[in-house]
Structure 1
Amino acid sequence: MNSNYTLRDEIRDYWSLRAPTFDEQVGHEIFSEEERQAWRDLFLRHLGPGEGRRALDLASGTGVISHLLHGLGFTVTGLDWSDAMLNQARAKAAKRGADIRFVMGDAERTLEQPESYDVLVTRHLVWTLVDPKAAFREWHSLLKPGGCLLVVDGDFVSDTIVKRVIRFVEKLVPGLAGAPHAPNAMRETHERILSRVYFSKGAQAQEVAGLLREAGFARTIIDRDLKPIHRAQAKNLPLLKGLERATQHRYAVLAVKAST
């Protein structure tokens, strides 16, 4: 492999390959109004209505979260480093007539202007970060005084009793857990990447919150009540996958920058 080909390059290329089927999967795209409203409720609870405030959707993918924020009245920029994801996001925004700015950029090194956003949102990004300490300092710098970062993430790595039961049942009745998210070759790439990122042992809410405070955020709030989202998602998942989702360590962390 080219010695200049970094872990970040591998992560970018992996998600570019996943782009064509990204919106087919529960947990990526939203498949019911019930789930959409649950996401809206989460954002309103922590961020309030948009009212024209500037929001940055980090690692925006195909723009699912960008559209939710736009619908709440935010002026939205979606940032992603995959051309394939951005192409789909722009096409989706054009089809819906949504005035969302999508830009190419690394979520860990955005090149966006300091203190230019009121709100930052990430969904399922933090657990894949190579250098979260540097990323969190960067995100802190992008927020205006008093601005908010909302991290929606989870520990998708640690083994649990439920995971072990699911693997056992799957061996007895192959296919009962539903189709895998990605073909075998992509799963192998995913596992290779995961073994080398910062949270290779799993991203726990308390550790994420602690790193955010180290990065300069004045206060953090951990919200573990994501059940309305997971219940809605479970209706479009096989039984075992829905059970796994409901029992995973998933959370939101609100981090607030000091006002002065």
Structure 2
Amino acid sequence: MSDTPRLTNYDLRDEIKAYWSERAATFDQSPGHEIFSEEERAAWHRLIVRHLGKGDGRMALDLASGTGVISHLMDDLGFRVTGLDWAEPMLERARNKAKTRTRAITFRIGDAENTMEPDNHYDAITNRHLVWTLVDPAKAFAEWLRVLKPGGTLLVIDGDFVNTTLFERTLMKLAGWGQRCGLLKSDPLHAPPGMMETHRSILSRVYFSQGARADAVAGLLAQAGFEDVVIDTDLGEIHRTQAKNWNVLKGMARATQHRYAIRAIKPA
């Protein structure tokens, strides 16, 4: 037996990076990732403005930017956006999307837990569905506090993807049955076949393996030094627009999930 300690966190982070690199190929085909209607885009704009205001040329850092969906929403609103992701296949798609849409968004490779960005540099930081994947959220939140300007705002959009209600599980089982019988429309491709087991394995080993509940995330943000931490669970408008891309039962199930936005301020 080797006496060399196993670098568990390194191994897990490497797996997470590989997983999202592979997911890049179909990421934009999934409702809830890419935006499929102007109605949904407008709902996202309203959520962002509610917590960050209009961009007015302010600098924003979009962490785990993926194919650039949130980066483009921020750009729509007048922010000067830098997207950071550590999966090169995601960045390739993000850059191509920005080029096609003639957007002046900068995308570069980087680690959300160690951004290598300057101190006190950004007016706003955003991320969507990043927090549940973090190996060390306390370290990540301290890093985000560091690169925000005094008075700058963090907007986290995430959810608890572990704990489900009996009602949600029932709806999902019925939706699956309906699809198999041809009674309900099939879901858009969510991930390459066989990757759900990888997803479950990763989810079982991250910090929030028991579910990223909003109050727990908000508590860690406060411990990291953020103030005026506000939890917003009013994402129903966004979910209703996304539900139009699924069958009715899966759309109902999505509405039952614990999803949220959290706004937090760096002390001035």
Length-normalised TM-score, structure 1: 0.95
Stretch of structure 1 that moved more, 8-17 or 173-182 = 173-182
Instruction: Decide whether the 8 Å contact of 1:227 with 1:246 is kept in 2.
Output: yes
Instruction: Decide whether the 8 Å contact of 1:19 with 1:85 is kept in 2.
Output: yes
Q: Aligned Cα RMSD in Å?
A: 1.9
Task: Indicate the residue corresponding to 2:58 in structure 1.
Answer: 53
Q: How far 1:156 moved relative to its partner? A: 1.2
Other structure's SS at 2:260 match? strand
Stretch of structure 1 that moved more, 172-181 or 148-157 = 172-181
**Residue of 20, 38, 41 corresponding to 1:33:** 38
Identity %: 59
Task: Indicate the residue corresponding to 2:89 in structure 1.
Answer: 84
Q: How does 1:190-205 map to 2 (within 5 A)?
A: 190-205=199-214
CA distance in 1, matches of 2:156, 2:9: 31
Instruction: Decide whether the 8 Å contact of 1:177 with 1:239 is kept in 2.
Output: no
CA distance in 2, matches of 1:169, 1:87: 38
Other structure's SS at 1:152 match? strand
- Over 3 Å counting, the alpha-carbon distance change for 1:32 and 1:174 in structure 2 is closer
Instruction: Decide whether the 8 Å contact of 1:177 with 1:240 is kept in 2.
Output: no
CA distance in 1, matches of 2:66, 2:103: 16
- Does the alignment pair 1:96 with 2:118? no
| Number of equivalent positions | 259
CA distance in 2, matches of 1:180, 1:106: 27
Instruction: Decide whether the 8 Å contact of 1:166 with 1:177 is kept in 2.
Output: no
CA distance in 2, matches of 1:190, 1:243: 23
Unmatched 5+ stretches in structure 1: none
CA distance in 1, matches of 2:105, 2:176: 45
Unmatched 5+ stretches in structure 2: 1-5
CA displacement, residues 213-251 of structure 1 (integer Å, 9 cap, x when unaligned): 000002201111111100100111111221111110011
Instruction: Decide whether the 8 Å contact of 1:177 with 1:241 is kept in 2.
Output: no
**Residue of 152, 160, 182 corresponding to 2:157:** 152
Task: Indicate the residue corresponding to 1:114 in structure 2.
Answer: 119
Other structure's SS at 1:45 match? helix
Instruction: Decide whether the 8 Å contact of 2:218 with 2:262 is kept in 1.
Output: yes
Q: How far 1:177 moved relative to its partner? A: 6.5
CA distance in 2, matches of 1:108, 1:90: 22
Task: Indicate the residue corresponding to 2:19 in structure 1.
Answer: 14
CA distance in 1, matches of 2:114, 2:256: 33
Runs of 4+ in 1 over 6 A off after TM superposition: 1-5
Stretch of structure 1 that moved more, 192-201 or 236-245 = 236-245
CA distance in 2, matches of 1:71, 1:167: 35
In structure 1, what residue type is equivalent to 2:256?
Answer: T
- Over 3 Å counting, the alpha-carbon distance change for 1:82 and 1:163 in structure 2 is same
**Residue of 173, 181, 184 corresponding to 2:190:** 181
**Residue of 211, 233, 236 corresponding to 1:227:** 236
- Over 3 Å counting, the alpha-carbon distance change for 1:163 and 1:102 in structure 2 is same
**Residue of 129, 133, 138 corresponding to 1:133:** 138
Q: How far 1:178 moved relative to its partner? A: 3.1
CA distance in 1, matches of 2:127, 2:47: 13
In structure 1, what residue type is equivalent to 2:79?
Answer: F
- Over 3 Å counting, the alpha-carbon distance change for 1:163 and 1:148 in structure 2 is same
- Does the alignment pair 1:216 with 2:221? no
- Over 3 Å counting, the alpha-carbon distance change for 1:40 and 1:174 in structure 2 is closer
In structure 1, what residue type is equivalent to 2:37?
Answer: S
Length-normalised TM-score, structure 2: 0.92
- Does the alignment pair 1:254 with 2:263? yes
Q: How far 1:114 moved relative to its partner? A: 1.2
